[in-house]
């Protein structure tokens, strides 16, 4: 298995924020979900991968080459439609067919039909969902091998999101393809992602296979006295309120064997994020 | 690169139609004899100056730059495409002014076609000069701030012109200049074209420098 994205020591410094250094790989045939709170650096990371923003250090290899040479095979969807409201849907075809060598007008029209988008419509008449579908059609019509998606499903209703997630799954059914998708909608990532990378304050806190991540962490809900008895090596962070005590624990299966009396519930990506950001470190 | 030029022209489609309507109205006024035919050339300069500002503003509105840089085009070609688009707009404006001038000559509203040709060339050069000054500002500061700065630069240029003309006798000195001969009239459009291209090339290098280091 080769890697579609290889990032080594990528860093970007702003006056008040530093991203990285980040080491990350996305194997071909997989979807990597990038999670993190607002301002964690997800968009900066995606822009740095594409070479849109200047970086302070590190290297990025896309599809075995440098980002500038790989762009022909990379499709991008950001959190909003970047096509001017003064354009019509079919203008996107006229413009991008002259930009991408591999642009397939027929495929673009197929996507428009599939998504129920009329070519003659003005972009300003499209709803947010329709604009995102147009962005996705534009990202796919040049037959890319890699998709970089920044909050591409944000603000969409569950039906549209489901349709788009199906497209992502169909895309990675080809073993040469891969997707990096950042999203706050962690349920979407739980549905489609193979790997999860968690970015917090510019640093990569976790990066692992999604199933292994969800399998190895758990949420312990117990009395404070019980928590005090637990080996601190298991506890990642805790959240205490007047009525309950919760802890994010690692090595869930070991923990269950060691403390069979305590109940450990599966943890969601949302809970994982909340524990890491808002919980007290053990 | 042609895709990016086409994109600029397509987003200006409606604006171009409106300006074309203006041109027809102003040409109509010139036909009626109320205003001189030179008004068409002046309008062309103003329109060709406004259009790139509009493109930058529209691009900023939809954050095109972020997407544009993700395309397999590169920063140099992206800037080059914008300059070629501006050049096309200038040439289109000059052509329209010349066609209008020919029509006005045909109905007897222009007595000296050579003078109109010189005026057309000078107006074309003005249009190119304005854009050559403005585009680096747009790349460096974005449409809102660049607009204000550009007006400031224009004000300074007018002031410098006035300070230059004042000791020579102002408009009286200008009017006292002898009419150009046929050789000069023929040479002026060529000189204007070469000067315009040199100005645009220098401006392009500056814009490329600003855009190359810009963090989008």
Contact of A56 with A12, CB cutoff 8 Å: yes
The mean per-residue pLDDT over the stretch A4-19 comes to: 92
Q: What's the pLDDT at A159? A: 86
Q: Is the peptide bond before A21 cis (omega within 30 degrees of 0)?
A: yes
N residues, chain A: 282
- Predicted confidence (pLDDT) at residue A275 exceeds the cutoff of 90: no
Given an 8 Å threshold on Cβ–Cβ distance, is B70 in contact with A71?
A: yes
Residue of A nearest to B63 (CA): A82
- Predicted confidence (pLDDT) at residue A105 exceeds the cutoff of 90: yes
Q: Provide, as residue numbers in chain B, all residues whose Cβ is less than 8 Å from the Cβ of A68.
A: 72, 74
Shortest distance between the Cα of B85 and any Cα of chain A, in A, equals: 14
Q: What is the largest CA-CA distance in chain B?
A: 57
Residue B31 confidence class, pLDDT cut points 50, 70, 90: confident
């855009």: which residue's tokens?
B211
Shortest distance between the Cα of B12 and any Cα of chain A, in A, equals: 8
Q: Provide, as residue numbers in chain B, all residues whose Cβ is less than 8 Å from the Cβ of A87.
A: 7, 10-11
Cα–Cα dist A141/A103, whole Å: 6
Q: Provide, as residue numbers in chain B, all residues whose Cβ is less than 8 Å from the Cβ of A54.
A: 213, 215
**φ, ψ for residue B69, nearest 5 deg:** -80, -15
ipTM strictly over 0.90?
no
Whole-prediction pTM = 0.86
* Residue of A54, A81, A86 lying closest to B14 (CB–CB): A86
* Residue of B2, B7, B62 lying closest to A85 (CB–CB): B62
Cα–Cα dist A264/A267, whole Å: 9
- Predicted confidence (pLDDT) at residue A117 exceeds the cutoff of 70: yes
Q: What's the pLDDT at A101? A: 94
- CB contacts < 8 A (A, B): 80
Q: Which of A119, A171, A161 is nearest to A140 (CA)?
A: A171
Given an 8 Å threshold on Cβ–Cβ distance, is B3 in contact with A99?
A: yes
Given an 8 Å threshold on Cβ–Cβ distance, is A54 in contact with B58?
A: no
* DSSP annotation string for B50-114: HHHHHHHHHHHHTTHHHHHHHSTT-HHHHHHHHHHHHHHHHHHHHHHHHHHHHHHHHTTS-S-HH
Residue of A nearest to B4 (CA): A95
- Predicted confidence (pLDDT) at residue B185 exceeds the cutoff of 80: no
The mean per-residue pLDDT over the stretch B3-8 comes to: 96
Given an 8 Å threshold on Cβ–Cβ distance, is B4 in contact with A96?
A: no
Q: Provide, as residue numbers in chain B, all residues whose Cβ is less than 8 Å from the Cβ of A43.
A: none
N residues, chain B: 216
Q: How far is CA A234 from the centre of its chain?
A: 27
């040409």: which residue's tokens?
B27
Contact of B216 with A47, CB cutoff 8 Å: yes
In this prediction, what percent of chain B has a pLDDT beyond 70? 100
Cα–Cα dist A78/B152, whole Å: 36
In order of A24, A123, B8, B38, B70, the CA distances from A199 in angstroms are 11, 33, 37, 62, 22
Given an 8 Å threshold on Cβ–Cβ distance, is B67 in contact with A82?
A: yes
Residue B113 confidence class, pLDDT cut points 50, 70, 90: confident
In this prediction, what percent of chain A has a pLDDT beyond 70? 99
- Predicted confidence (pLDDT) at residue A1 exceeds the cutoff of 70: no
* Residue of B6, B66, B215 lying closest to A98 (CB–CB): B6
Contact of A141 with A114, CB cutoff 8 Å: no
Cα–Cα dist A205/A191, whole Å: 21
Given an 8 Å threshold on Cβ–Cβ distance, is A52 in contact with B69?
A: yes
- Sheet strands side by side (includes A280-281): A264-266, A218-222, A245-249, A235-240, A280-281
């Amino acid at each position: 298995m080769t890697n579609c994205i290889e990032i080594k020591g990528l860093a970007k410094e702003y006056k008040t924020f530093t991203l990285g250094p980040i080491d990350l790989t996305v194997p071909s045939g997989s979807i990597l979900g990038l999670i993190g709170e607002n301002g964690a650096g997800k968009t900066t990371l995606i822009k740095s991968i594409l070479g849109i923003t200047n970086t302070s250090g590190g290297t990025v290899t896309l599809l075995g080459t440098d980002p500038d040479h790989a762009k022909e095979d990379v499709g991008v969807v950001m959190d909003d439609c970047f096509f001017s409201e003064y354009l019509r849907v079919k203008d996107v075809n006229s413009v991008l067919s002259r930009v991408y060598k591999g642009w397939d007008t027929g495929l673009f029209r197929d996507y428009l039909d599939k998504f129920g988008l009329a070519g003659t419509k003005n972009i300003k008449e499209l709803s947010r969902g329709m604009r995102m579908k147009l962005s996705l059609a534009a990202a796919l019509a040049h037959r890319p091998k890699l998709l970089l998606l920044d909050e591409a499903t944000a603000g969409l209703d569950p039906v549209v999101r489901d349709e788009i997630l199906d497209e992502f799954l169909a895309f990675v059914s080809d073993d040469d393809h891969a997707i990096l998708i950042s999203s706050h909608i962690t349920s979407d990532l739980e549905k489609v992602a193979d790997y999860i990378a968690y970015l917090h304050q510019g640093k990569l806190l976790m990066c692992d296979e999604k199933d292994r991540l969800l399998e190895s962490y758990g949420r312990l809900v117990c009395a404070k006295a019980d928590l005090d008895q637990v080996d601190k090596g298991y506890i990642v962070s805790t959240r205490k309120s007047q009525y309950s005590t919760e802890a994010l624990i690692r090595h869930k299966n070991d923990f269950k064997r060691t403390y069979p009396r305590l109940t450990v519930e599966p943890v969601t990506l949302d809970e994982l994020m909340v524990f890491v950001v808002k919980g007290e470190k053990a | 690169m042609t895709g990016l030029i086409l994109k600029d022209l397509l987003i200006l489609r409606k604006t171009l139609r409106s300006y074309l309507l203006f041109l027809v109205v102003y040409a109509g006024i010139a036909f009626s004899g109320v205003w001189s035919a030179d008004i068409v050339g002046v309008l062309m300069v103003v329109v060709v100056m406004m259009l790139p500002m509009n493109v930058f503003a529209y691009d900023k509105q939809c954050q095109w730059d972020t997407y544009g840089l993700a395309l397999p085009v590169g920063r140099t070609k992206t800037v080059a495409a914008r300059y070629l688009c501006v050049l096309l707009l200038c040439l289109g404006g000059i052509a329209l002014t010349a066609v209008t001038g020919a029509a006005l000559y045909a109905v007897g509203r222009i007595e000296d076609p050579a003078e109109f040709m010189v005026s057309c060339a000078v107006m074309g050069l003005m249009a190119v000069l304005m854009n050559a000054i403005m585009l680096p500002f747009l790349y460096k500061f974005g449409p809102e701030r660049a607009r204000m700065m550009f007006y400031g630069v224009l004000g300074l240029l007018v002031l410098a012109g006035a300070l230059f003309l004042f000791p020579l006798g102002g408009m009286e000195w200008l009017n006292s200049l002898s009419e150009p001969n046929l050789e000069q009239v023929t040479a002026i459009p060529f000189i204007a074209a070469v000067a315009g291209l040199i100005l645009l090339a220098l401006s392009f290098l500056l814009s490329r420098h600003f855009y190359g280091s810009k963090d989008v």
